[in-house]
Amino acid sequence: MWKALGIAALTALLLVSPAHTQERRTLGYGRLFTNDRLGDGNDRWRSGSYAISLLRGRAWKGGLPEHPFEIMEYRLGSAIIAPSSLRTPADPDRRYAGTLSFLAQTHYRVGRIETSFGAGVAAVGPGTGIGDLHTRLHKLLSAPRPTILGDQLGDALIPFVTAELGRQVEFGGLGLRPFIAARAGDENLVRAGVDLDFGARERGALWLRDDTTGQRYVGISGNSDRGLSLQLGADVARVWGSAWLPEADGVAVEPWRQRLRAGVAWRGPLFGVFYGVTWLSPEFVGQPEGQLLGSVRFRMNF
């Protein structure tokens, strides 16, 4: 059922668009790199990910349009999911998974509710080349090379759908945004949380959410004062299943997940940088502790 739903939704998102598609243009790019070496310094579990988003539409006027498909995001993602050790994993532990994904989603508003929904497909297994890239990078950096790739998850294509609803509330210089989200296909979950931001905030931007950490990053630039801004966030998810933790492996998913995150951004006239940290609670039964990930983004203004 999930595969049929995902394929149908992805096809609709790619084919349905407003009239005058020839007027559509690139409105912005978003990027976020995440790695646990930038957090707790380990190479395990949600080890690393990279997302790059392309935003297309006819115009950006500093706020979401009232109709879907006027603004489209096309996101490419990659991720390394690993056991606790790349050589001698614990028992029980999760299997290695190298993933590539493509997501097409639209962003719009219904009244004051910021809405996004989309569909995509995730590829997993040796065929993605992620495991080989991981090995080459460790060789280049003189780090221990993975010896567990022979037992990684097999090649598969997994359609998925995702949606989020949120509302931005302003309190002077503080922005508060509660949200709810859902995902089905590669992982089946419902999530609720809140984001806070203050300082030299970027207004009139289109913000996107990273899948792994929940950190928000800019897809279409807005306006902000030069200086520092701070971001805080937390969410909790009810999880019913995960393709990255197949039942046949004998490692059960934790039914509840929590994420806590904080980030700081500095923006100058020509250059901007963001660094964030995210704590993830255990994702499977038997995972002895959570983990801390670090995320970075650099921006150049022309």
71 contacts 83 by C-beta, under 8 angstroms: no
* Range of weakest confidence among 221-225, 273-277, 290-294: 221-225
What is the DSSP code string of 225-270? -SEEEEEEEEEEEEEEEETTS-GGGT-PBPSEEEEEEEEEEEE-SS
Give dist(CA 287, CA 278) in Å, integer: 17
Residue 293 carries which side chain, given as an amino acid letter?
Answer: L
Give dist(CA 204, CA 10) in Å, integer: 28
56 contacts 26 by C-beta, under 8 angstroms: yes
Judged against a pLDDT cut of 70, whether residue 30 lies above it is answered with yes
Domain regions of the chain by residue span: 2-300
Give dist(CA 261, CA 250) in Å, integer: 30
Q: Which pLDDT band holds residue 135 (cuts at 50, 70, 90)?
A: confident
* Phi/psi of residue 234, nearest 5 degrees: -155, 145
At 296 the three-state DSSP class reads strand
CATH of domain 2-300: 2.40.128.140
Write out pLDDT tens, residues 58-72: 999 999 999 999 999
Give dist(CA 121, CA 255) in Å, integer: 24
Q: What is the pLDDT of residue 4?
A: 44
Residue 142 carries which side chain, given as an amino acid letter?
Answer: S
CA R_g for the chain: 19
Percent of the chain with pLDDT over 90: 70
* Phi/psi of residue 23, nearest 5 degrees: -85, -10
In this structure, what token pair is assigned to residue 82? 């690993």
* Range of weakest confidence among 58-67, 106-115, 132-141, 244-253: 132-141
